[in-house]
Every structure is written in C-alpha cells, then in structure tokens.
Amino acid sequence: MYWYDGALQKTPIAAFDLTDRGLTLGDGIFDTASAHNGRLFLREAHLERFAAAAEALDIPFPGKQASEALDALAAAVGDGVVRLTLTRGGGARGLAPPKGPKPLLFGAAAPPPPPFPVLSLAATAIRRNETSPAARVKVLPYLDAILGFEEARAKGADEALFLNTQGRVACLASANLFAVFGGQLATPPLSDGVLAGTVRAFVLGKAADLGLKAIERSLDFSDLLRADALFATSSLKLVAPCRSLEAASFASVENEVVLRLQAALRDAVAAACGRL
C-alpha cells in the first residue's frame, strides 16, 4: 500500500517530477516505523525524529500530512512496516537548493520482517562518516550502507559493522549496536556518527527500570570483543541478539540482559498497540 498526493493508493506508480532532488541528489529524509494491529509503535518518537531530520536539512516539514499518512498506512497494513519519505522536491539543475522549496511527502507500507532476529556480523571496510551531519540523520543516501551490507553478506554474515573515520564503533547498516558488560549497556554516542534510533532511545531510557546501567560512550572494536553480549536495535528488528562478530562468538541469545530488554519491548508494543 502506498500514500501519495494526500491519499492511499494500491499501486507504487505515481505522476512524479523527475527533477525531484530526492531522486537526483539524495536530498531528502525518511523514517521507518513498525505497525502492530494497525497502530504504530513509538509513533510520537518517529514523528519527532522525522520532524527533526527535516529541520536538520532545512526542509519545511508537513507535520499534519506526515501524521495522517503514518496513521493511514498503519491502519491499511495492520501488522507491518510503514515508511515515510520527504524530499526537498523539484529543483533546477545544480547543488543549490531552490529558494521556495515544495517538499514531496510520500509513504509505503510493507509486510513485517520477523522481530528479534539473531544476527551474525562482519566488519565492512567502509567507514561511517561522522564528520557529516547526515550521519546522524535518516537521510535518503544509503549507498554506503548498501555496499557495506552486501560486503558483509558476501562474507556469509547477516549485517555489517561500520567503524567511523576515527576507527571507533558506529553502527550496523540498518541498526544501532549495543554491547553488554555484566549489568551495563554501552552504545556509541551520536557524535560517533550514529543515527538517533527510536529503539536505541527506548533501551537507554528503559534500562534504569530494569536495574541496568546504560551509557553512551565511544567503543573500540576490541571493546566489542570483550563484551558478554552484543545486540542491535532498530524499529523493525527491535532487540536483535548478535551471535557472532567476525570470528568471535557471543552467547547473546541467552544473555539475561538481552532477554529482559526483549521482554520489555514486547510489553511496550503490547501496551501501545495491543500485542506484538
């Protein structure tokens, strides 16, 4: 199901402006949320992040439309994935943004991927470029993520680990990463080139309730190897235990902290949407 020009439509084919800068230059943002029982999990967090991303790129944010599109797609798909895309709209050739931008908002809903997948990780040689503001925003350019992901898959892994240009741990191709040390959780700070994941924020905020200490701090690859468990977070994966990173194995699937976080996510989804 798709949302375009203010309404739901069944086909992805739409009358589209080929000068749209989202298409020609990657000049736009998106956001992906999971729907359960026709309702969005962490709905407000997603809308706030989407608005903040628009502000970061100085794209006027059509808040009412975005809100309507999210709900319409969630209701239409029931259980699934809802994605909204916002581009800067059409423009003349060249890098300079148009003076009076007419942003384009559209959306799509898709079937749900399995929650809580178990992942094997391989490091990619492509570095996450934390020097760019775009590294902390869910922008359309995902080519580095695609290339790193394919590199990891070619090695037989499920996901790619990105270090940043300083050699510190950043994130996976489409997820944040946490390391568990005893009862402590650590995840890289946004300044290391990390997207402000909604489930990342949920975990950081929920940890204290679970008797855990959660901190944002820079991590080296060797820190990961010393961890008791690793897990990825994303709107779709929720809390995904990592069973391996390159040659190292982790008992993340049975790690008590990971299990408690998964249970907390299940409860939160049920509270917000009725059930997982």
Interacting residues toward a copy of itself by CB under 8 A: 2, 4, 12-20, 22-27, 30, 57, 81, 83, 85, 87, 90, 92-97, 106, 108, 110, 113, 125-127, 129, 131-134, 139-147, 149-150, 153, 165, 173-174
**Angstrom distances, CA of residue 204 to CA of 178, 214, 256:** 10, 6, 17
**Which residue, 105 or 204, is less far from a copy of itself as judged by CB?**
105
Give the whole-angstrom CA distance, residue 195 versus residue 63: 21
Taking the complex as a whole, the smallest distance from the CB of residue 166 to a copy of itself amounts, in Å, to 9
Taking the complex as a whole, the smallest distance from the CB of residue 92 to a copy of itself amounts, in Å, to 7
**Which residue, 153 or 260, is less far from a copy of itself as judged by CB?**
153
Taking the complex as a whole, the smallest distance from the CB of residue 143 to a copy of itself amounts, in Å, to 5
Taking the complex as a whole, the smallest distance from the CB of residue 146 to a copy of itself amounts, in Å, to 5
**Which residue, 145 or 219, is less far from a copy of itself as judged by CB?**
145
Q: Which of 178, 181, 159, 162 is nearest to 170 (CA)?
A: 162
Give the whole-angstrom CA distance, residue 64 versus residue 166: 40
- Edge to edge, the sheet with strand 28-36 lists 7-9, 2-4, 104-110, 80-87, 28-36, 39-40
Q: Which residues pair with 108 in a beta bridge?
A: 2, 83
Taking the complex as a whole, the smallest distance from the CB of residue 207 to a copy of itself amounts, in Å, to 28
**Which residue, 206 or 237, is less far from a copy of itself as judged by CB?**
237
Give the whole-angstrom CA distance, residue 233 versus residue 221: 18
**Which residue, 19 or 191, is less far from a copy of itself as judged by CB?**
19
Taking the complex as a whole, the smallest distance from the CB of residue 107 to a copy of itself amounts, in Å, to 9
Give the whole-angstrom CA distance, residue 33 versus residue 109: 10
Give the whole-angstrom CA distance, residue 22 versus residue 29: 8
**Which residue, 143 or 251, is less far from a copy of itself as judged by CB?**
143
- Region of residue 182 (phi > 0: left; psi between -120 and 50: alpha; otherwise: beta): left
- Contact (CB, 8 A) for 208 and 218: no
